Structure 1
Amino acid sequence: MIARLQALTAESRATFWRSLQTLGATRVVIALVLLVYLSFGNRSLHALGHDLYLQICLLYLALAIGFALTAVYLQRHFVLQLLSQIACDLAIISMLYLAGGGMRSGLAILYLFPLAGLAILAPLVVALFCASLVTLFLLGDSTWQIFLTDSDRDVMQAGLYGAAFLAAVLVVNRMAAKLIGQEELASQRGIEINVQQAVNRLVMANIGDGILVVDPQGQVYAGNPAAQQMLGLVGLEMKFRLSAAVTLAPLAQAYAEWRADPGCSTAVLTIKPFNDAALEGVTAAWSARRELSAHLKVRFAAADMAGSGLGAERSVIFLQDVTGIENQAQQLKLASMGRLTASIAHEVRNPLAAIGHATALLAEEVTAPGQQRLLNIVGDNVARVNRMVEDILQLSRKVQAHSEPLALAGFLAELRTEFIETHSLAADIVGIAVPPGAEVRFDALHLREVLLNLLSNAVRYASGKPDSIRLYVVRDTAQRLELHVQDDGPGITPEVRAHLFEPFYTTSSKGTGLGLYLARELCLNNEARLDYEYRFNSEADAHGSPSLSGRFVITLKAA
């Protein structure tokens, strides 16, 4: 019996203790009913043993209260408590039975209460054993009454009571065993469901693809962190309607089309879900930030709700971010193109040098202004092509970065002096602001080349006023150092920004289109990031609103 109880789960054992507590409370009620029965008792009870009956009832009430409190506050040794309580019940009821005059008192029915409780909480063998003892007791007492009264009617009643007790114990025990088995099965299923839910939560939290659970009207009920990241809903409650979010309009439209035609279960969408409060209402800045667009491959599937008992239908939307795949394909394409152009550059270099040398020789002999102008055009284009060849060859070389701690204050001051002298600029055209002790890990030669490229671009558009070009270092929200290169010229348009770092893309007739691409690659080699960003300035514009401007931002690795 102890092994049987220990084999049960914690929930089932708790149910056994609650049943024992219910049994104790019922015992208290029965003791009180017996005392009331004493008050309205029959004459035979008063004649045979009124005082004895009262004493037994009071004793039974005291024991019943003690047993009830023990089952509540001392939940140990279940088997010992159960058997001791049942033994007490049988003994007290037997004494009341004898004190009341035996079978004629009608108290034999009280045996059904402890026997039924024992049939529920104990094995069948134990319950049948106790029922057999009660039956033998009733038969023995009835047999003894034959010698006293010469009547055998009590024996027949005792036999009927005994048969009823045995049948009741058998039926109640089987029903209780079935219920306990069902409860145990439900408990096991509950544990399995909890484990499965924990596994599902772990999988959904760590899977790379986004998952949304929606109803036919597009109401979202659940979503995993990947979906929140893809749709720009990090930190927001996943309880909204797809059609209510303006940025998710393509997804809502694709879902509606799938509902109308289940055959169209996949779609590729471009979503700009990020809600940057600083850019709210700034159309040009918003559309120019192409890197915030999410290219998603979407797949729709209807959940099988058969047998779930839920009237509502549910669908699952699977989201896969293909931006990385597209970027990788683009990188492979650029790598192939780079190898091709590098090989072409090697072949072009020698003839180009010959053309340049021949042009220089002709320039020494030609004196006519028209011919001299034509030779200058040839020379300029030869120089341009030569710069393009040099950029391509440098791009094709896998230069290993030698990152060392670099103090930005001294480095930027030296670079500014060199740049101003080389381009014959005013001394105050370039302003520098660096916090004390700012150090980064970057190859000095690589950073010099990146900044010279950015400063050369800035000179073409700056007004030439003092501090019209600014180099300043700030810390972002993650406490990383950012080096900003900004001029007071017109900002880059969103159309140009979309292709700014692509190779061979340029808006200048004298540019090669490789400078910014090469600068970004050098930053990546040094674990840094170069980007052109639209940001609000601290100073206000003429209307009192924060002014918006573009700038190149290099996010650096701290030393």
Structure 2
Amino acid sequence: MTATPEASSWPGASPDADSGKEHPLEFERIWRGFMAARATLGLVLVVLQASILVLAPQQSPSALVICVAYFAATLTLRLKARPRQLSPTFDSLWLRTVGVDVLTFSVLQWAQGGAINYTPLLALPVLMVSILGTPLQAIASAAGVTLLLFGYAGWLSLQTSGDFTGYVLQAALTGAGCFAISFIASQMATRLASVELRAKRSQLAATVQQQVNQLVIASLTDGIMVVSENGQVLLANPAAHALLDTQGQTDINLKQRLGWSALMDVINSSFNSQRPQQASVDIRHQGHTKRSLLARTQLTSAQDDNVSGLCVVFMQDQREIEARIRAEKLAGMGRMSAAVAHEIRNPLAAITQANALLSEDLQDPGQRRLADMVQQNARRLERIVKDVLHLVQVPTSGDTDQLLDLATAAQRIGRDWSSQNHCIDELSVHTDSVATSVLFDAEHLRRIVINLLDNALRYASRAAGSIQMHVAMATPSNATSIALHVWSDGAALDPSVEQHLFEPFFSSESRSSGLGLYICRELCESHGATIAYDRRERKIGDQRVTGNEFTVTFKTTNSTLMP
């Protein structure tokens, strides 16, 4: 039988000595204090009885033997026992504490024959039960001690023929004192236990909140630093370390980094004005180009007049800010362009059909050339409209995916494209002896390949073999991915063009919509593939020629198809 939580003054203090549960710290301190007090009292009693024997050798040594036994019992319990709450039932702990105390003090009182009054010592077990036990146990122990005192008063009255009212009064007053001690001590113990429990809960909540805060700060994409007034970085999240290129460093002082003076100036300005600051700063890393950051500061309140607060610095990469702004603008432009494209589509179809009907009756060569010009520009405008519509209609991978033999699909698409564009000699398609199958949408694959081939044709020299398409493993040692390469012998791209190559509505020439490569990238990403650009050498005839190459890397499946 164990104590219920409602009956316990110390929540969390297990009555089972072998349970291994953690006790409240204050409970352990008080428990050890009581055990030490009992051992100290036993030592005092031994010294007292030994002194009496020295001064009066005719006295019986029985009291000294009792005190020595009491001291040994209390010292053993203090050194070997573990703190635990008194059980609601009478167990070994009750006998070794309350039982030993009551028995020892009662026997000493009886053995001394009233020469020394030991009854005040009975307050010790009452006080111990009141604090280490439950309120009900405290009242019961006070009642037990009071009955024992009344019994002793009755025994004295039988031994003497005089008035025994004094004995009864003394027993009643001592018993009342025991009841008062049990009540007050029990209330104090309950109050102390409640305060400690609330403190532990608050500490646990603070610990959990701190862990949550650390997790949130660590996962933020913005850099966050806590900096002291002397420039010492006290705390920084992973994003801040990445922006400052300080991964793995612990002792960071902004004043000691020459390339970080602009950031330190913002922090100093915040400390001097005691107000938040915001500024664009350039961070220069040794051996690297500068990085532009948007820095914002917030000051914490000072905890002491002699100690200044801390500065919390929020940092954002200017390139990421500009990229987000550009993406938002492009998204708005895409929605607007899609709406315009829908409105243009129907009139464009009417123009194309009317021009075709007019061309049938034209005999004059000049007029036919004008009709052909209208037809060509109408088709060009139709392609732009399709690109714009594809921009906002790029689907994600799903039920349309199917198992494709990439080599076979590339050969078929290349053959159809070269026939339509009258460039059979210009295009050459190469595949490895073994091509791994891929999971992809067939129409999306066709759109990607045709966009890349159209782009290659626009800049190729039109010589035989000037456009090449190659299907092979991504790397000889990597059998988990397969690559489709589209190469042309065009001139190298300008670095400014290469930087924005896959952005929508970006083109190096006015006749292009600037959506082809962007749509290729979106289609690739929607199916788990990637697309990249590089300058690479390919063989045309007997010569090695450097050209532009776009590589689409697909994830393979477990099956392998032989072409």
Q: Structure 1 length normalisation: TM-score?
A: 0.66
Aligned identity (percent) is 23
Q: What do the CA deviations read for 1:432-461 (whole angstroms, capped 9, x no partner)?
A: 458642312122x43233223323434535
Where 2:59 maps in the other structure, the secondary structure is helix
Q: What do the CA deviations read for 1:491-531 (whole angstroms, capped 9, x no partner)?
A: 4333113433445543247645443344445546x535664
Pick aligned residue for 1:389 from 366, 372, 381: 381
Task: Report the Cα offset of residue 486 of structure 1.
Answer: 4.7
Per the alignment, residue 403 of structure 1 pairs with 401
Per the alignment, residue 372 of structure 1 pairs with none
* 1:461–1:147 distance in 2 versus 1, CA, 3 Å: farther
Distance 1:446 1:351 in 2: 29
Distance 1:156 1:344 in 2: 113
Per the alignment, residue 331 of structure 2 pairs with 331
- Please state if 1:515 is matched with 2:516: yes
- Map 1:343-358; keep pairs closer than 5 Å: 343-344=343-344, 347=347, 354=355
Task: Report the Cα offset of residue 5 of structure 1.
Answer: 0.8
* 1:461–1:133 distance in 2 versus 1, CA, 3 Å: farther
Task: Report the Cα offset of residue 314 of structure 1.
Answer: 5.2
* 1:483–1:7 distance in 2 versus 1, CA, 3 Å: farther
AA matched with 2:384: I
Task: Report the Cα offset of residue 265 of structure 1.
Answer: 5.9
Task: Report the Cα offset of residue 93 of structure 1.
Answer: 1.9
* 1:536–1:265 distance in 2 versus 1, CA, 3 Å: farther
Distance 1:145 1:236 in 2: 87
Distance 1:119 1:413 in 2: 93
AA matched with 1:98: W
- Please state if 1:494 is matched with 2:460: no
Q: What do the CA deviations read for 1:261-307 (whole angstroms, capped 9, x no partner)?
A: 6766667x79999x9xxxx9797xxx9xxxxx99x987654445669
- The CA RMSD measured in Å over matched residues stands at 6.0
* 1:128–1:155 distance in 2 versus 1, CA, 3 Å: closer
- Please state if 1:471 is matched with 2:470: yes
Contact 2:38 2:74 in 1 (8 A): yes
Per the alignment, residue 445 of structure 2 pairs with 447
Q: What do the CA deviations read for 1:204-225 (whole angstroms, capped 9, x no partner)?
A: 678x775735235566555678
Where 2:200 maps in the other structure, the secondary structure is helix
Distance 1:345 1:528 in 2: 32
Per the alignment, residue 102 of structure 1 pairs with 114
Q: Structure 2 length normalisation: TM-score?
A: 0.65
Contact 1:142 1:158 in 2 (8 A): no
The range that moved more, 112-121 or 317-326, is 317-326
Task: Report the Cα offset of residue 89 of structure 1.
Answer: 0.5
Per the alignment, residue 340 of structure 2 pairs with 340
* 1:365–1:253 distance in 2 versus 1, CA, 3 Å: same
Contact 2:469 2:487 in 1 (8 A): yes
Where 2:436 maps in the other structure, the secondary structure is coil
Distance 1:6 1:491 in 2: 83
* 1:327–1:190 distance in 2 versus 1, CA, 3 Å: same
- Please state if 1:179 is matched with 2:192: yes
Distance 2:273 2:432 in 1: 60
Structure 1 runs not aligned, ≥5 long: 288-292, 367-374, 538-547
Task: Report the Cα offset of residue 92 of structure 1.
Answer: 0.8
The range that moved more, 471-480 or 116-125, is 471-480
AA matched with 1:117: M
Where 1:506 maps in the other structure, the secondary structure is coil
Pick aligned residue for 2:139 from 119, 125, 128: 125
Q: What do the CA deviations read for 1:293-343 (whole angstroms, capped 9, x no partner)?
A: 99x987654445669999643537497986557524422212212432554
Task: Report the Cα offset of residue 382 of structure 1.
Answer: 5.5
Contact 1:17 1:71 in 2 (8 A): no
Per the alignment, residue 542 of structure 2 pairs with none
Per the alignment, residue 5 of structure 1 pairs with 8
- Map 1:86-485; keep pairs closer than 5 Å: 86-100=98-112, 102-104=114-116, 110-111=121-122, 113-122=124-133, 123=135, 125-126=139-140, 128-129=142-143, 132=146, 175-197=188-210, 200=213, 210=222, 212=224, 214-217=226-229, 300-303=297-300, 312-313=309-310, 315=312, 317=314, 326-341=326-341, 343-344=343-344, 347=347, 354=355, 363=365, 385-397=377-389, 402-416=400-414, 422-425=422-425, 431-432=430-431, 436-443=435-442, 445-458=443-456, 460=459, 469=468, 471-474=470-473, 483-485=484-486
Higher helix share: 1
